[in-house]
Chains A and B, each alone.
Chain A
Amino acid sequence: MSIFQVINTSASALTAQRVRMDVISSNMANMDSTRGKLVDGEWQPYRRKIVVTQPQGDQFSSFLNKAMGSSDADGVKVTEIVEDETPFELIYDPDHPDANEEGYVAMPNVDPLKEMVDLISSTRSYEANVTAMNATKGMLMKALEIGK
Chain B
Amino acid sequence: MKLFSNTINQLEQAINQSTTKQKVISNNIANVDTPNYKAQDVRFNQSFNNELQKLSANKTNNKHIDFGTTGNGFQILTKKNSNYQHNGNNVDIDQEMTEIAKNQIQYNALIDRLSSKFNSLKTVIKGGN
Contacts and interface: CB of A to CB of B under 8 A. Distances in A.
Interface string A11-37: 011001100100000000000000000
Task: Give chain A's interface secondary structure class.
Answer: helix
Interface residues of A, number: 38
Interface string B25-61: 1110111111101001010000000000000000000
B101 A135 contact: yes
B26 A6 contact: yes
Given A71-B20, A128-B93, A132-B25, A76 B34 contact: yes
Task: Give chain B's interface secondary structure class.
Answer: helix
A75 B29 CA distance: 9
A5 to B, nearest CB: 7
Interface in B84-129: 93, 96-97, 100-101, 103-104, 107-108, 111, 114-115, 118
B26 A55 contact: no
Contacts, number: 104
B83 interface: no
B22 A147 contact: no
Interface in A128-144: 128-129, 131-133, 135-136, 138-139, 142-143
B124 to A, nearest CB: 15
B105 to A, nearest CB: 10
A146 interface: yes
Contact of B29 (A74, A129, A139): A129
Interface of B: 15, 18-20, 22-27, 29-35, 37, 40, 42, 71-72, 76, 93, 96-97, 100-101, 103-104, 107-108, 111, 114-115, 118
Given A75-B30, A136-B22, A139-B18, 11 more contacts: A9-B26, A10-B30, A16-B30, A17-B33, A69-B72, A75-B31, A128-B29, A132-B26, A132-B30, A146-B115, A148-B115
